[in-house]
Amino acid sequence: MKQKIVMVVLTLVLTAALAACGSKSESNGAEGSGDKAKLKVGISAGVEEEIWKQVQEVAAKDNLEIELVVFNDYVQPNKVLAEGELDANAFQHEPYLDQFKKDNNLDIVKIANTLNFPIGFYSEKIKEVSEIKEGDVIGLPNDPTNGARALILFENAGLIKLKEGVGITATVRDIAENKLNLKFEELDAAFIPKALGDLTAAVINTNYAVEAGFVPTKDAIFIEPKDSPWVNIIAVRTEDKDKPVFQRLIKAYHSDQVKKFVEEKYGTYIVASW
């Protein structure tokens, strides 16, 4: 009888141990895919806010809470992320991130594509690029990559020619030909819509253009093609890039719900990149 009791106890102990192991295994398997989690994500004001509200809805179904922190400039989101006050940000294209990292010695990396916002050339004074005359003042963003992007747009519009091979590193000093002797005013990207009345025309980033009341495909006098390579991204600290929770974030952003929302509401000037 005593031996039977011992066997029963051993069986119960073994069963409990196996159950505990099974429970731990299931928990580890679920880590990053169902466990309750929270991320703080930095984004740009305006259009991005509406799109990220859709991402929040999808993520919530996967038990992932996303807290949005809205910025009105292109400098703070990367610095705040690097300092650990954000888990991720989503406001920039990769050339901008690469240059910003180099200039500020930050360890941040891309984990996914989001949207393409074709940049446009706007004016309150003219309706066509052909109306630009000698000596006119043209505005463009003063940050390196968006400035280069604007110069490439000017070249595509036939206003200037850049030195061969400068590409996304172009600056106004790389203008090889400027037949109209245009004057280029480099301004903070967020300020350009307010300064537009003092310029003949200017390149305005899409989020700021929309915020200022422009419809890019209707109001821009010249615009990038929709297959432009300047695709926006989600970025995180390099040390965090392999955390499973970020795969849940990407899955939520790349969902059918988000893509449908973008296509139905912003499809004329924003392109989903997945």
Q: Could you give the dihedral angle defined by the CA atoms of residues 150, 155, 157 and 158, in that order, rounded to the nearest 10 degrees?
A: 150
What's the mean pLDDT when you consider all of the chain? 89
pLDDT averaged per 10 residues, the chain (length 274): 42 38 32 81 94 98 98 96 98 93 96 95 98 98 93 97 94 98 97 98 94 93 86 97 98 98 92 92
Sign of CA dihedral 50, 235, 244, 39: negative
Residue 270 to residues 47, 240, 255, Cα–Cα distance (Å): 10, 29, 16
Query: What's the CA gap between 188 and 50, in Å, rounded?
Result: 24
Cβ(141)–Cβ(120) below 8 Å = no
3-state secondary structure of 145: helix
User: Could you give all domains of the chain from N- to C-terminal order, each with its CATH number?
Assistant: 37-118+229-272 (3.40.190.10), 120-223 (3.40.190.10)
pLDDT at 225: 83
pLDDT at 4: 43
CB 230 within 8 A of CB 148: no
The pLDDT score that the predictor gives to residue 268 is 82
Nearest to 167 by CA among 234, 93, 229: 229
User: Residue 70 burial by CB count (10 A; 0-12/13-18/19+): exposed, middle or buried?
Assistant: middle
Contact of 274 with 113, CB cutoff 8 Å? yes
Return d(Cα 252, Cα 131) in angstroms, integer: 45
Q: What predicted TM-score, i.e. pTM, was given to this entire model?
A: 0.75
- Residue whose pair of structure tokens reads 């490439």 in the numeric block: 152
Sequence letter at residue 81: L
- Residue 169 dihedral angles phi and psi, to the nearest 5°: -100, 5
pLDDT on residue 33: 61
pLDDT per residue over 113-152, tens digit each? 999 989 999 999 999 999 999 999 999 999 988 999 999 9
| First CA to last CA distance, the chain | 68
